[in-house]
């Protein structure tokens, strides 16, 4: 039977909605718990400060009648400043959907996401555009980098959309690439980089506008174990730097 998601104070959100789990997926899940989570635990930073995000009784359903399905079912938790939240659960348990709701890319069916006390569903279109542009940063499993642009331009791209002047865009993008040890690849095309390097470029791009919340959806899902480790380490170091 479906159970409610729960969260520990160490910011560990687990989605267990009674989805039928394929044995292979179950194995992958256990692998994640064994490798990814302990690696993170080693690098965990200082305790959380003020509350930034609050999710209350969040539900997202799709379909009607026999096709009705609740992808996220009554999730409630808070995310504090400086917190590193890891969401785990079998495939289909609603992890990506939850991130989509936190990113304000889709409205919930019930419940609410609030950022510093402001409910996202009360935002005007303009405020929501600002939220996407400046408050959250998104990283996906498959990088979503543009091979027709250089690595530097990929990272700087969100600033172009915000109207930041070219010199400032490039300086900021280069600074971030440097912090991920990727400055020497600034002029390369993303497809000339390894998967782990591309994912770190994608993280740099998501950080370029200094988001309040970085949302990362299965960042190591497409990577071999060594690249996965470099990405996990980069995220942990990023969290430590604050
Ligand atoms: P996870 O990221 O944990 O693998 P998802 O959030 O992708 O899970 O999906 C949760 C459930 O919601 C799945 O059963 C999926 O098929 C369903 N779902 C997700 N998005 C949609 C959509 N746009 N339309 C219909 N069903 C969806």
> What are residue 86's DSSP bridge partners?
12
β pairing state of 110-115 and 51-62:
antiparallel
In whole angstroms, what is the distance from residue 184 CA to residue 205 CA? 16
Whole-number Å distance, alpha carbon 4 to ligand 1 midpoint, is 17
Q: What are phi and psi of 14, to 5 degrees?
A: -120, 125
Mean predicted confidence (pLDDT) in 165-193: 94
The predicted pLDDT at position 173 comes to 95
State if residue 17 touches ligand 1 by the CB under 6 angstroms criterion.
no
Distance from residue 71's CA to the centre of ligand 1 (Å):
6
Which range among 14-28, 88-102, 115-129, 170-184 has the greatest average pLDDT? 170-184
CA distances from 30 to 21, 63, 87, 111, 150 (A): 12, 31, 14, 31, 37
From 221, 240, 193, 233, select the one nearest 31 (Cα to Cα): 221
Count Cβ atoms within 10 A of the Cβ of residue 235 and give its class: 0-12 exposed, 13-18 middle, 19 or more buried: buried
- Write out the H or E segment, with its range, that includes residue 54: strand 51-62
pLDDT tens per residue across span 105-162: 999 999 999 988 889 998 888 888 888 877 888 888 888 899 999 999 999 998 887 8
Q: How far is the CA of 176 from the centre of ligand 1 (A)?
A: 33
For residue 182, pLDDT over 90 is answered with yes
What pLDDT sits at residue 153?
Answer: 94
With a cut of 60, say whether residue 16 has pLDDT above it: no
CA dist., res. 81 & res. 79, Å (int): 7
61-80 pLDDT, tens digit per residue, is 999 999 998 999 888 888 88
Q: What is the 3-state secondary structure (H, E, C) of 121-180?
A: HHCCHHHHHHHHHHHEEEECCCCCCCCCCCHHHHHHHHHHHCCCCHHHHHHHHHHHHHHC
CA distance from start to end of the chain: 39
- Of 144-148, 211-215, 222-226, the range with the lowest mean pLDDT is 222-226
The tokens of 91 are what? Answer: 């495939």
Report pLDDT for 118: 86
pLDDT for res 33: 52
- Say yes or no to pLDDT of 24 above 60: no
Pairwise pLDDT comparison (1 vs 42), residue with the higher score: 42
pTM listed for this prediction? 0.77
Average pLDDT over residues 2-18: 36
| pLDDT, average across residues 25-51 | 52
What distances in angstroms separate CA 157 from CA 71, 175, 211, 221, one per listed residue? 32, 14, 15, 24
Q: What is the pLDDT of residue 123?
A: 86
62 lines ligand 1 (CB under 6 A): yes
242 Cα–ligand 1 center, Å = 32
Residue 11, phi-psi category: left (phi > 0), alpha (psi -120 to 50), beta (remainder):
left
How far lies 66's CA from each of 16, 19, 108, 205, in Å?
Answer: 22, 16, 20, 41
pLDDT at 35: 52
């Amino acid at each position: 039977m479906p159970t409610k998601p729960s969260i520990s104070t160490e910011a560990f959100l687990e989605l267990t909605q009674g989805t039928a789990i394929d044995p292979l997926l179950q194995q992958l899940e256990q692998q994640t718990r064994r490798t990814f989570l302990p690696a993170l635990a080693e690098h965990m930073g200082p305790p959380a400060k003020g509350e930034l995000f609050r999710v209350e009784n969040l539900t997202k359903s799709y379909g009607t009648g026999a096709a009705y399905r609740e992808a996220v079912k009554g999730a409630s938790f808070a995310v504090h400043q400086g917190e590193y939240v890891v969401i785990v659960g079998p495939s289909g348990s609603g992890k990506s959907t939850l991130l989509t709701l936190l990113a304000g890319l889709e409205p919930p069916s019930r419940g609410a996401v609030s950022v510093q006390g402001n409910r996202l569903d009360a935002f005007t279109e303009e405020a929501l555009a600002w939220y996407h542009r400046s408050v959250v940063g998104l990283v996906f499993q498959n990088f979503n980098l543009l091979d027709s642009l250089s690595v530097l331009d990929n990272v700087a791209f969100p600033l172009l959309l915000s109207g930041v002047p070219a010199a400032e865009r490039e300086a900021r993008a280069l600074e971030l690439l440097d912090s991920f040890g990727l400055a020497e690849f600034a002029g390369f095309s993303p497809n000339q980089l390894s998967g782990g390097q591309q994912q770190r470029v994608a993280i740099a791009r998501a950080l370029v506008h200094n988001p309040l919340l970085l949302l990362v959806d299965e960042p190591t899902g497409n990577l071999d174990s060594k690249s996965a480790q470099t990405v996990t380490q980069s995220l942990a170091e990023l969290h430590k730097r604050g």
